[in-house]
Amino acid sequence: MITYIIINTTETSKVDFNQVLQNSPSTLRLTCDGSQAILKWEGSEPSFVATLSSYEGPYTHSEILPMMMLPSWNCSVGPIPF
């Protein structure tokens, strides 16, 4: 099962991209204003999550999808990359 969390983009330097399904900060899904990003992983929670000062979640795929339809996230043209 894939798990999702929302983090502040100010904390992307704490992300170990070897532990998540994204490759780098440039592959993160961001809010329209760039203030938040979604991280996703499969299996156990990555160890670096404990170092984040705040995050929202965890969410399942069915829980995160409605959030991605909110105007704050839905600013790109084309399909949602999930």
Q: Which tens digit of pLDDT belongs to each residue from 2-54?
A: 999 999 999 999 999 999 999 999 999 999 999 999 999 999 999 999 999 99
Summary count for the chain: helices (H), strands (E): 1, 4
Location of structure tokens 């532990």 = 19
Which two structure tokens, joined as six digits, stand for 32?
A: 């329209």
Distance of CA 9 to the CA centre of its chain: 10
Q: Residue 20: what pLDDT? A: 98
Q: Which amino acid is at 72?
A: S
pLDDT(77) > 60: no
